[in-house]
Amino acid sequence: MQVVGFCRFSYPAEGGFQVEHDNIAAREAYLYSAARMDERFRHFETICLPGLRAQTDPDFTFLILVGTSLPVELRARLEALVDDFPQARIVARPPAPHRAVCQEVINEARDMAAPCLQFRHDDDDAVAVDFVASLREAARDVTSLLGKHRLVGFDWNRGFIARPDAEGILAEETVTPFWGVAQAMAVQPGVRQTIMNFGHNKILRFMPTLTFTDRPMYVRGHNDHNDSRQKTHVAPVELPRLDAAGEALFRERFAIDADQVRRIFA
């Protein structure tokens, strides 16, 4: 089955953010501010990309949605980061309703006559190096279920919440269902709905879902510019620092190198 991953990289959508802005110009000014973009690039380079590049099953497409208004120098920086990542495809779109443009971009990249496995991914999150392989295996295991339903959800709920900094990585294991990372959906041929048509914590209302808890499958990034952290009532999360064994686990499981994190965040 075709596997398509989808990532919004500071795309100025109409809707789709927990924090609202008065107009698109205000949203673009917020998204493209120097401090925010510097942080997004650091997380993208050190947390998001390594595990995707290291997938044991490299047969997938990773769509990166950006705005046509993304400044030229930022677009060039993004292109340089994915130059050695052949599965990545940068797609630029003008501001448009969030769900509609995400659906359009995903469907343009898939073979609509064939079934498809789709996963959503934020630019500061990571998946384990065997995520794509595990997703394909899970889909094969429930072939009969997939044949009976237009959509079937998959969720790996064990992972880490982590914050990188100049001293390494602060992280703690968590089991959190339907968190929007290491989460996927099987889509029947001809079905135009995509994984981005559903709130990540609501897909179980609309389709059968399968949950896996056997091993860590994700890293959920924690940083000052998380969309969910822009609200004043969100409390800070205290995380312990990884020791040598924890750093080794992150390298093996997610291809995240704590030495690279220290260097990039210095």
Quick: pLDDT tens for 203-255. Answer: 999 999 999 999 999 999 997 654 444 445 556 689 999 999 999 999 999 99
Q: What is the mean pLDDT of residues 145-157?
A: 97
Task: Report yes or no: 134 and 195 within 8 Å, Cβ to Cβ.
Answer: no
Distance from the Cα of residue 79 to its chain's centroid: 18
At residue 86 the predicted structure's pLDDT band, cuts being 50, 70 and 90, is: very high
Q: What is the mean pLDDT of residues 164-184?
A: 97
Residue type, 187: V
Q: Is the pLDDT of residue 69 over 80?
A: yes
Distance from the Cα of residue 212 to its chain's centroid: 18
Dihedral, CA atoms, 230, 25, 89, 41, nearest 10 degrees? -50
What's the confidence (pLDDT) of residue 233? Answer: 52
Distance from the Cα of residue 68 to its chain's centroid: 20
- Cα–Cα distance, 263 to 257 (Å, whole number): 10
What's the confidence (pLDDT) of residue 231? Answer: 44
More confident residue, 74 or 237: 74
Q: Is the pLDDT of residue 172 over 50?
A: yes
Q: Which helix (H) or strand (E) holds 192?
A: none
DSSP 3-state assignment of 189?
A: coil
Q: What is the mean pLDDT of residues 9-38?
A: 83
Structure tokens at 35: 């401090």
Q: Of 180, 181, 2, 9, give the one whose Cα is nearest residue 82.
A: 9
What's the confidence (pLDDT) of residue 230? Answer: 42
What's the confidence (pLDDT) of residue 229? Answer: 43
What percent of the chain is predicted at pLDDT more than 70?
92
Tell me the per-residue pLDDT of 49-63, one tens digit each, with 9 for 90 and over. 999 999 999 999 999
